Amino acid sequence: MMTTTRAFSAHLSQALRERVLSLSDTSRPEGPALLAAAAGTEIAKATGFGPLEKLCKPLIVPSALAVALRDGRLNPVDTALLSVTGAAYTTGDVILMLGDGHAGRSTSRLVSGAAAFGVGHLALGGMMLRSGLRFKPAQAAVHGVVAGAVGAVLLSEDRANAPLAAYAGLLATLSALATSVDRRSGPGASVLAVAGPVFLLSDSLILLRRRAEEGSALARALDVGVIDTYATAALLLLTGTAAAARTAGATA
């Protein structure tokens, strides 16, 4: 068991290093484009310069999707599921961005954004299941506790938060499935072990940001933190799931 864990950890470390290095590969535009989009959005959030955010943020997920697709051929169904995920995430980004972003207090707009992301999570989860990933009891239990706690907090604040509580459960379910990845899915898929929790962290920071005083240093730091974690999670989820699908296709 310890040997298996160490081997998986080694695969994960190597896969993460390779993914970071691929972003600076100027022979392919997708990686540098993702870095530029994320950096531009961070600057926009840190300075409050809205036009720059509107230019850069919608490019984060399409760039991550391009990186995932460039890594190798996928069958038509998996390509469609991955593309649906990318389109849904980008739609969610636009919905939230046009409603004052992370600072928005509108529950209805947040629910609309969550609905768009939910479609992406369902498509990506379906692709993971097609690739052979299955829930492991420990991961399911831990994420169940997290989803329950977040849902309880949201509902205690306002019953109108019920859709957000449901979204938290869906995201936790996706993260539980992603973190159930093992060596059978191939080295490239190992990044899913951190992708799900990072996405959970990103959305948790959004909820914290809504409570921060507008214009404060804390608010701007949380804004940047949301973008950092979101861009990282999107890249690792899309590329890791694509890698799992390729491994499943090669062994079928």
The pLDDT score that the predictor gives to residue 210 is: 79
- Quick: pLDDT tens for 164-204: 999 999 999 999 999 999 989 998 999 999 999 999 999 99
The pLDDT score that the predictor gives to residue 223 is: 92
Residue 82 counted as domain residue: yes
Residue 12 counted as domain residue: no
CB 231 within 8 A of CB 65: no
Length of the chain: 252
pLDDT at 102 over 80: no
Residue 18 counted as domain residue: no
**Strand blocks (E) in 60-170:** none
**Strand blocks (E) in the chain:** none
The pLDDT score that the predictor gives to residue 38 is: 96
Residue 19 counted as domain residue: no
Residue 225 counted as domain residue: yes
Closest C-alpha among 120, 130, 53 to residue 92: 120
Q: CA-to-CA distance for 210 and 229, rounded, in angstroms?
A: 17
- Quick: pLDDT tens for 61-79: 999 999 999 988 999 999 9
Residue 17 counted as domain residue: no
pLDDT at 23 over 70: yes
pLDDT band at 28 (very low <50, low <70, confident <90, very high): confident
- Quick: pLDDT tens for 201-222: 999 998 888 788 887 889 899 9
Residue 11 counted as domain residue: no
Two tokens, residue 223: 């804004």
Closest C-alpha among 45, 70, 69 to residue 57: 45
pLDDT at 103 over 80: no
Q: CA-to-CA distance for 34 and 90, rounded, in angstroms?
A: 13
pTM score of the predicted model: 0.92
Q: CA-to-CA distance for 29 and 197, rounded, in angstroms?
A: 28
The pLDDT score that the predictor gives to residue 114 is: 93
DSSP string, 217-247: HHHHHHHHHHHHHHHHHHHHHHHHHHHHHHH
The pLDDT score that the predictor gives to residue 164 is: 93
Domain containing residue 125: 27-251
Quote the mean pLDDT of the chain: 91
Closest C-alpha among 54, 64, 9, 19 to residue 193: 9
- Quick: pLDDT tens for 106-131: 788 889 999 999 999 999 999 999 99
Q: How many domains does the chain have?
A: 1
